[in-house]
Structures are given as structure tokens and as C-alpha cells.
Chain A
Amino acid sequence: MSPAELSQLLHRHHGDPNRLLQMLREVQAAAGWVSPEVITELAKGLTLPRARVEGVATFYTLLATRPRGEYQVLFADNIIERFHGSVALRERLCAALGVAPGALRPDGRVSVGTTSCIGLSDQPASLLVNGLAIARLTVERVDAIAALIGQRAPLDQWPAELFHVDEPIRRAGLLLGAHLEPGAAVRAALARSSEALLEELKRSKLRGRGGAGFSTHDKWRAARDAPGPTRFVVCNADEGEPGTFKDRTLLRRQLDAVLDGMTVAAHAIGAQRGFIYLRGEYLFIAPAIEAALAARRAAHLLGRDVLGRTGFDFDLELHLGAGAYVCGEESALLESLEGRRGIPRRRPPYPVTHGYLQRPTVVNNVETFASVAHVALAGGARFAELGTERSTGTRVHSVSGDCARPGLYELPMGASVRELLDACGAEAPIQAVQVGGPSRTLLSPRELDRALCFEDLPSAGAFMVFGPQRDLLEVVASFARFFAHESCGFCTPCRVGTTQLQGAVDALVGGRGTRRDVRHALRLCALMRDASHCGLGTTAGRPFMQLYEKFKPTIERSLSSLEFRPTFDLDEALAPARALTGRDDERAHLEDP
């Protein structure tokens, strides 16, 4: 990047250090990587310590601080993708391009790596090329990609069809079936005082859809009552939990409901500004969001005096993440919004009083805001008619895995697991279902009558089905790899524990595991659960623990010898010295016991 381009970039972002991540994303897009020189210049331009900028640049998966090629391909390495042959497809692409996995081709043209789930498990396998998603990979599509890269075709000349992302809505309800006029919910909200609006929200008993199920009313009221003149509304569209993609669909099919919901929130709590924090992997949705924001400004749904209401000034900005699951945690998200490394904050204080820029802030999930629009339109009581006593409304499930019809299913809260399995055409026998992604619940076939709601199975919406042909250890190993890759590294138990757990589980998958590995793994799970700083670490051990509790025979079968086995392959460890000395005598080998 030239100095002139850099100074333009700084200018466009008003030299605002809070926008550092956005600037780094633009540098990445323009130059293909963030070079040390650019880091130095950005730091100067923003009067930040250089090391602080470097710290941010090296935190996010989608930013490269070493050259990674004109074409940077990242295969989604989720277990669903693996079961759809992503490993073989990746190898095929590497072979076609003559590049080693993870490495940069010597001519600097291309690299092919992996990343976590990119929110396309309903249409696996999938990848990102220079940040843009390509789904439904087949041998043919991979060969086409190889050819385009081979010809050095610019991305904007690739067939648009390659980048097409489906939205397989299989069952629509209150949210997905709606046809809302942009601004309809804002109008309805403005007809009420903010207090009346909060009362309506209370009546709806709406609970947050991001996973924890916190009362939306309580959160908003706390933010409204917090002292200070400035308030913020933040939409959490980070959707990083493997197997979840319903926010993608809501943003593409019900965007105005979401934006209405955010504007309603602004009215309720007295906020002037809001942000949509969109995961970087959803770059392909960004243009539509920007367009909708522009349209809403033109229609006076955003900006000064929204819908003519004097004094109601509210505007929204789109912020993109850059590949970090932990940024879905609300306080890490706020750090990231402020242009920093996505490290979860210490609590208390909570975002409702000390959020963005330490001001009162509500952070809600995409689906929560979409639900809010319906509460504002039809009233809280109507909303509460749906679902169960303590989980009102509907829930959009992201269904993937071994079933005939993966996709989006909106069901009233409280539907049973079996109902959803029947709806998606999952054939018996089912081996297991993962509800809510790796951080939630692994269900055995004995638990299929459990209810999908906060009282029983809280979930951020992921629903992965595993048939009898699947190796659950491989599933758990994939989850362990996910947590190790996504740990922010702030606290000891999660930083080191996730990597250690990955090692122990990999040993089990490879057939080298022993009871000692099982004991180590369980100890690590407990350690992470009890001592971690945030939800990522406290839940990182759940998949293995639940496998141990519910599928013990799967673990038992994998154990090599019953008590002890070397932690590494002894004979393999002699291989380098054997090769160098040319020896192959008996003493140049070690056998496993």
C-alpha cells in the first residue's frame, strides 16, 4: 500500500483508533496482507503504540501478517464439512494448484488453509476465497476454482453463480414468514412511550437468542436506567458457533425486521448510535446491509429526527469482524468494536452500564432484534402466546448433518428434538444430536423427547444430526480443535487447556489413547470449566465430558492398551537419526510395548 493510499484510508476513517480493525480489514483486502511497514504507518497515523496495532493485526484469523498470496483460500474445517469430504476437496485443490496445505506457493500466487465453521453447514463443503464464501463444493466446483486461480482471473470476474449462497428455509414461522414494511415496527414503537414499550417487552417475556437467554426487558431497562447521556445499541451478528447459520438467513431475508428491532431498542433505551457487528466470514452480506442502511436513511428511518420524531436521532454503522469466535462474547465484541484484540472484559461492570466506550450499551442477537420487531408490532401478549411458559416466541434452528433436508426451521419454543428430526428427514437410527453447537449439549438417542427451549435445552440455534456411520470421537476431536483455534489466549486454563485437550483427544482418535489420556482429558475439562474467564473456556470441555458420560463405549473402544502407552511414537522418534546414519539394525528401532 502506498503512503497516499494509507493516508486516504486514515482520512476515510477520521483517524479514529476505534476503527482500527476496519482499517486493517481494508488493508488486508487491498494488499492481501498487513505488512510490518503498514502497521508502523497506521500506528503513527493513529498515534497508537505500534505494538498495540501489531497485537490487533495478529489476533484475527482473516488478517494475514505474512504474505498469503493473491488468492487466499480457507476451507471451513467444521465437522459437518469434513463429513462432506472437505479434506479430500482441499487436498484436490492443493494438488491442482501445486501448493502444500497451509503454505504459500513459492510464486506467491496462492495459499490454501483452513478456518473454523463459516456458517454454511447447510450447504457443505464451503470455503472462503479472499474472504468471500463459496458453498456446495464438489469436485467440479473445486476444479473450476483451481482453473480460475490458474488463469489468474480477478475475483470479480469469477462466475457469480460460484458465490451464490442458498437460504433453504424449510419451515417459516413468525419471523421467517413475515412480510414487514421497513419501519413498520419503528412506527408502532413510536406510538408508545419508551416506558410503555418496555412494559410491552416485559409482557412478551422475550429472552435473548444468543444463547444465554437473558431477559431482554431486564437488559434494556438496566441500560436505560444507567446514568449518562450517551447510549448504544449493538447487534451481535458474529454467529460463530459451529453449525449455526440462522442469523445469516435473518440478515438476508428479514433484514428490515432486524434493523427495525434495533431502532426500537434505541427508542426504548434512548440510544443515539448503534452497530451491527457482522462476522467477517459474512462479507458477502455486507453490501446488502450497507444498501439497506442507505435506504433507511433516505426514508428517515435512520438519522436525525427518525420518522419526524423531534429529538429521536439514531444511526447505525456496520462493523465487520475478522475471524474470531470469541468476539461473539459480548464484551469481547465491544473490545473488537473499539478496535482492539477481542479479549472478554472483566465483569462486573457489565455492558448495560459500561459497554461501548464505557457507556451503557445493549448487545443483542440478530434473532432477538427480529423478535423485538414483532413484539413492537403485535404487542407482548401476542408474542407470549407462542412457545412455553418461560420461553416465549419461536426459535430458528440451523439444521445440518445427516438428514434429508438441512436448512432453516422455525418452530415455536419448546418443540421436541424428535419433532425437528422428523421435520428435517433424519432417518433412524440416530446416533447423536448436537444441540446448540459444541458449547452446548450432545444428546444420545435416549434424549430425543427433550424440549428445545431455555428450560431444557438452551441453544443458539445449531442442530447437528449424526447418523450411525459417524465416529463421535472424530466429532469431539473437531470440536476440541475448534476451541483450541478460537481460544483468545487471555487466561491460562483455556489458552493451554484447549491445546492440551486437543492433544489428548487426537491421541484417542488415532488409536494411541490410553486411560491416562482419558484421565488427563477429564481433568482438563474440569479445570477449564472451573477456572476459565469466559464462556468459551468454561464450555470448551463439554463435548468430551458429555461423550464420556453418554457414550462411554465409544471411548472404551478407542483405547489402545488399558493403562499405559508412550505419549509419542517411539520408533517414529528415531526416524530422523536413522535416516541420517543410514542405520536399520535392530538397535536402531524401538517397538511399542
Chain B
Amino acid sequence: MKKLKVATASLAGCFGCHMSLLDIDERLFTLLEKVELDRSPLTDFKQFGPCDLGLVEGGLCNAENVEVLRELRRHCKVLVAVGACAINGGLPAQRNHLDVRECLTSVYGRTVPDDPELPLPLDRVHAINDVVKVDYFLPGCPPSAEALWHFLDDFLNGRTPHLGHGLISYD
């Protein structure tokens, strides 16, 4: 059987969702028999290739987040928002009632760096489905290893993923 190609990305998140993925422990081996990782914080690839599944952790804080997300969307058939930040902005979105200019000046003082290498922040933090079409949402902060495994297992076996008690969680 041809392996499914999976890419992952961490935008404005804390990497917790990726850690949770690693937490599926020995089932990682089962997983790796069926999937091949494309660009991901867990691999060295610099570009996304055509993928079957994209997993996104984190919301959209800045221009770079938006660019990476769109790149990924362009390359994958099914895109999944993984975790609170991707789904509703999460912790970073707690700044949304503040003016982004005030945020920047209170961090940097009067001289806010103008280095083109630094990604420019958006006025508000957004959930990823504000910018691209999202096919599935996997809530949790992070989603538990169980929930992630359950989802992947369903997905790999062509079942509609379904999260029951204990697997669906917002925290």
C-alpha cells in the first residue's frame, strides 16, 4: 500500500500539539508504517510537497503564519486544525482586545524594530479557518495523544472521525 503523505506546521502555538503527537508512543511505529512525513517541524524538508493530510497547530499571529498556512493549504488534500490555537486563536488571541500598536510599543519601547526578517504582526490573532478552508477540527489544548491517535486511525482507515467522551476536550 502506498504510504499517505502527511505534513505538519506549527504557527502561533506552543508546540504542545506536536508534543502530544509524539505522545502516542509506540503507536508512532504503526503510524510510520502507514504515513510518510513531508515538511514538518519533525523533519528537515524546507518546502511542502503534495500531501494527503496537513496538520496545523497554532493560530495566525503574523504575516509569516499566514504564508506558511496558505502554502500548506495549497499542498494538502485534507487540512486539519489541531488544538485550541488553530481553532480559535487560543492564548495568543488574548491580546485581541488590545491595540497591536500598544502591544508592540510596550514590548519594544519607542523603537520598534523594522527588520524585514521579522514577521509583521496582524492587528488581531485569527483562527486558521478565517483564512483558509479547514476540513476537520481537533480541539484540545493540546488534544490528547488518545484523541490524535483516534483521529489518525479513523482517517487512515477511511472512517469519519468521531470524538466521544474523554476524547473531545477544549483544554
Contacts and interface: CB of A to CB of B under 8 A. Distances in A.
A585 B118 CA distance: 11
Contact of A587 (B70, B100, B105, B120): B120
Interface in B115-155: 116, 119-124, 126, 130-133
B96 to A, nearest CB: 12
A585 B116 contact: yes
B99 interface: yes
24 contacts: A564-B133, A566-B131, A567-B126, A568-B124, A568-B126, A568-B130, A573-B122, A573-B124, A574-B63, A574-B121, A574-B122, A574-B123, A577-B100, A577-B121, A580-B101, A580-B112, A581-B112, A583-B116, A587-B116, A587-B120, A588-B120, A590-B66, A590-B67, A593-B70
A319 interface: no
Interface in A542-593: 563-564, 566-568, 570, 573-583, 585-590, 593
A580 B132 contact: no
B63 A587 contact: yes
A578 B120 contact: yes
B164 interface: no
B116 A573 contact: no
Interface in A512-538: 516
B114 interface: yes
B113 interface: yes
A160 B101 CA distance: 50
A564 B101 CA distance: 30
B104 interface: yes
Interface string B83-125: 0000000000000000111001100000011101001111110
Contact of A566 (B67, B123, B130): B130
Interface residues of A, number: 25
Interface residues on B, range: 20 to 34
Contacts of B124: 568, 573
A579 B104 CA distance: 12
Contact of A580 (B70, B105, B119): B105
A569 to B, nearest CB: 10
A-B pairs with lowest CB-CB distance, top 9 = A581-B114, A573-B122, A585-B116, A567-B130, A566-B131, A577-B120, A564-B133, A573-B123, A577-B121
Interface string B156-169: 00000000000000
Nearest to A585: B116
Interface of B: 63-64, 66-67, 70, 99-101, 104-105, 112-114, 116, 119-124, 126, 130-133
Contacts of A583: 114, 116, 120
Interface of A: 516, 563-564, 566-568, 570, 573-583, 585-590, 593
B123 A576 contact: yes
B114 A582 contact: yes
A570 B120 contact: no
Given A570-B66, A570-B131, A577 B104 contact: yes
Given A570-B122, A577-B120, 15 more contacts: A564-B133, A566-B130, A568-B124, A575-B123, A576-B123, A577-B101, A580-B112, A581-B104, A581-B112, A582-B114, A586-B116, A587-B63, A587-B116, A589-B63, A590-B67
Contacts of A516: 133
Q: Which of B67, B99, B114 has the most CB of A within 10 A?
A: B114
A585 B132 CA distance: 24
Identify whether the interface residues of B are mostly helix, strand, loop, or mixed.
Answer: mixed
Contacts of A575: 123
Contacts of A563: 133
Contacts of A586: 116
Given A566-B131, A574-B63, A587 B119 contact: yes
Nearest to B129: A567
Contacts of B64: 587
B116 A577 contact: no
B122 A588 contact: no
Contacts of B131: 566-567, 570
Q: Which of B63, B66, B99: most chain A CB closer than 10 A? A: B63
A576 B101 contact: yes
B107 to A, nearest CB: 11
A589 B119 CA distance: 10
B61 to A, nearest CB: 11
A568 to B, nearest CB: 6
Contacts of B67: 590
B33 to A, nearest CB: 34
B95 to A, nearest CB: 13
A574 B66 CA distance: 11
A577 B130 contact: no
A583 B122 CA distance: 14
A513 to B, nearest CB: 14
A588 B122 CA distance: 10
Contacts of B116: 583, 585-588
Contacts of A589: 63
Nearest to B66: A590
Contacts of B120: 574, 577-578, 581, 583, 587-588
B97 to A, nearest CB: 15
A574 B132 CA distance: 18
A581 B63 contact: no
Nearest to A564: B133
A582 to B, nearest CB: 6
B85 to A, nearest CB: 17
A280 B99 CA distance: 38
B155 to A, nearest CB: 22
Given A563-B133, A573-B122, A580 B63 contact: no
A20 B100 CA distance: 43
Nearest to A574: B120
A278 B35 CA distance: 71
A570 B123 CA distance: 10
A192 to B, nearest CB: 65
Contacts of B130: 566-568
Given A564-B132, A590-B66, A581 B113 contact: yes
A586 B132 CA distance: 21
A580 B123 CA distance: 12
B68 to A, nearest CB: 12
B111 to A, nearest CB: 10
A587 B101 CA distance: 18
